[in-house]
Amino acid sequence: MKAAKIRLYLEHPLGEGQTIPLTQPQAHYLFGVMRQGVSDAVLVFNGEAGEWRAEVIEAGKRGGILQIAEQTAPQRDPPDLWLMFAPIKKARTDFIVEKAAEMGAARIIPVQTEFTNSERIRQDRLQAHAVEAAEQCGGTYVPEVSDVHRLDRMLADWPEARQVMFCDEALAGRAEGLGRDLPRGAPWAILIGPEGGFSEAERARLAALPQAHAVSLGPRILRADTAAVAAMTLWQNSLGDWT
C-alpha cells in the first residue's frame, strides 16, 4: 500500500477490514482537491478509536469508499481541560479554536462577558476548524466547540472539582504564575477575557471562587488570541501532558 499523505476525520466506527462510505464533501476533498484515487492510502480517525490506515477502493465525484487496513496509532485523549474565551473578530476567533485543538484542549467554550465585543459565533464553522486542526496536527481527538455561554451563569454553577486558571490582564507585570501545589490530573479550565478586559464584578466573582487561580501572562497585556496560546502553553508545561 502507498504511503499515506492525508489524514481525515470520520464520524464512523473504525475497525480492521471495514468499508466506509465517504460523504460528498469528503470525496470532493480527497479526489477533487487532493487528487487521490483508487489504491491511495489515507489515515483516518474518529476521535475515539485511534488512527487507522485505509485504502481508497472506490473514487467518484460525489462519493467513494475506503477500506480500513490496520491501526497505526492508539487513541490519545487530551487532559480534561476547557478553554473558555470571549469571542473576538472572526479570523482571530478561528485562530483561537485551531490552536486550542492543536495544543490539547478537551472542550472549547466561547463565553459572553460584560465587555465581550462579539456575541455571535458560527458554532458549526468553529467545530469544522477544530476538526481540520486535529487532522493537521496528528491528533486522534477532536474537542467539542460549544455555543456561546454566559460567563456569569457558568460561574454560578461552577463544578466543584474543576479548577480554573483565570488570566487577569490587571496582573500584567506581576510575578503571579501557577503555584507548585496545584492538583495535577484534576479537571481544569483556562479563562481568557475579552479585549476590553474583565469587569470589576467579574473579577470579584472569580476571586470569590475557591477553585479560581489568578495568573499573569507576563509584563505586557496580550491580545486575546495571543493570550490563549500563552495560557495553554503555561498550563500544559506545568500541569498538562507536555511533561
Backbone angles phi, psi at 42, to 5 degrees: -135, 140
Q: Is residue 111 domain-shared with residue 202, that is, in the same domain?
A: yes
Residues 69 and 119 in one domain: no
Residue 80 dihedral angles phi and psi, to the nearest 5°: -80, 80
Averaged confidence pLDDT in the chain: 91
**Predicted confidence (pLDDT) at residue 194 exceeds the cutoff of 70:** yes
Q: Are residues 11 and 123 in the same domain?
A: no
Which of the listed residues 44, 73, 102 is the one where a domain comes to its end? 73
CATH of the domain at 108: 3.40.1280.10
Q: Are residues 86 and 52 in the same domain?
A: no
| pLDDT per residue as tens digits for the range 203-237 | 999 989 999 999 988 888 899 999 999 999 999 99
Domain co-membership, 68 together with 88:
no
Same domain, 88 and 197: yes
Confidence (pTM): 0.91
Judgement on whether residues 41 and 130 belong to the same structural domain of the protein: no
**Same domain membership, residue 183 and residue 110:** yes
Separation CA 228–CA 193 (nearest Å): 9
Q: Which of 51, 73, 95 is the last residue of a domain?
A: 73
Q: Does 2 reside within a domain? A: no
Whole-angstrom CA distances from 32 to 28, 58, 66, 136, 172 are: 5, 14, 16, 19, 49
Domain total in the chain: 2
pLDDT by residue (tens digit) across 36-65? 999 999 999 999 999 999 999 999 888 999
How confident is residue 89, by pLDDT bands cut at 50, 70 and 90? confident
Cα 111 from Cα 108, distance rounded (Å):
10
Residue 1 lies in a domain: no
Same domain, 171 and 146: yes
Lowest model confidence (mean pLDDT) among 58-67, 72-81, 100-109, 164-173? 164-173
Pairwise CA distance, residues 90 & 174, whole Å? 31
Domain assignment present for residue 184? The answer is yes
At 55, is the secondary structure helix, strand, or coil? strand
Co-location of 40 and 155 in the same domain: no
Residue 135's alpha-carbon distances to 42, 45, 159, 168, 188, in angstroms, are 11, 9, 31, 32, 25
Could you tell me the residue range of the domain that residue 193 belongs to?
A: 81-239
CATH code of the domain containing 64? 2.40.240.20
Does one domain contain both 91 and 205? yes
Are β-strands 144-145 and 107-112 bridged in parallel, bridged antiparallel, or unpaired?
parallel
Which of 24, 47, 73 is where one domain is finished?
Answer: 73
